[in-house]
Structure 1
Amino acid sequence: MHVQVVTKVEKPLMDVKAGFNEDLFLQLNPPFPKVRLLRFDGSKKGDFVELELNFLVAKQQWVSEITFDHESDKRFEFIDEGVVLPFPFSSWKHHHKLVSKGKGCEIIDDIEYEAGNKVISFLLYPLLLLQFLYRKPVYRRIFKQN
Structure 2
Amino acid sequence: MTDTVHVLNGPNLNLLGTREPEVYGRATLADVEAACRTACERHGLGLVFRQSNHEGELVTWLQEARGSLGVVLNAAAYTHTSIALADAIKAVGLNVVEVHLSNVFAREAFRHHSYISPVARAVICGLGIDGYRLAIDALAASRVN
Using the size of structure 1 for normalisation, the TM-score is 0.31
User: Is the strand fraction higher in 1 or 2?
Assistant: 1
Higher-Rg member (1/2): 1
Using the size of structure 2 for normalisation, the TM-score is 0.31
User: Is the helix fraction higher in 1 or 2?
Assistant: 2
